[in-house]
Amino acid sequence: MLDIKDLHASVEGKTILRGLDLVVRPGEVHAIMGPNGAGKSTLSQVLAGRDSFRVDSGSVQWYGQDLLAMPAEERARAGLFLAFQYPIEIPGVSNAYFLKAAVNAVRRHRGLPELDAMDFLKRVKSEMKTVGMSQEFLYRSVNEGFSGGEKKRNEVLQMSLLEPKLAILDETDSGLDIDALKIVADGVNRLRTPERSLIVITHYQRLLDYIVPDYVHVLAQGRIVRSGGRELALELEERGYGWLDVPVPAQE
The residues of the shown chain that bind ligand ADP, judged by CB under 6 A, are: 11-12, 14, 16, 34, 36-42, 52
- For CA atoms 74, 79, 85, 90, give the dihedral sign: positive
Give the total residue count for the chain. 252
11 vs 70, which CB is nearer to ligand ADP? Answer: 11
In the complex, least distance from residue 66 CB atom to Mg ion, rounded to whole angstroms:
25
Q: Supply φ then ψ for residue 103, to 5 degrees.
A: -60, -45
38 vs 67, which CB is nearer to ligand ADP? Answer: 38
Binding piece for Mg ion, criterion CB under 5 A, among 7-15, 25-33, 35-43, 127-135? 35-43
Per-residue buried b or exposed e for 209-227, using 16+ beta carbons within 10 Å of the residue's own CB = ebbebebbbbbbbbbbbbe
Cβ-based neighbour number of residue 155 at 10 Å: 23
Which listed option, Mg ion, ligand ADP, none, makes contact with residue 147 (CB within 5 to 8 Å by class)?
none
Cβ-based neighbour number of residue 139 at 10 Å: 10
The answer to the question of residue 172 lying near Mg ion (CB under 5 A) is no
The answer to the question of residue 151 lying near Mg ion (CB under 5 A) is no
Which listed option, ligand ADP, Mg ion, none, makes contact with residue 60 (CB within 5 to 8 Å by class)?
none
Which listed option, Mg ion, ligand ADP, none, makes contact with residue 132 (CB within 5 to 8 Å by class)?
none
- For CA atoms 53, 56, 58, 63, give the dihedral sign: positive
Binding piece for Mg ion, criterion CB under 5 A, among 3-11, 28-36, 182-190, 241-249? 28-36
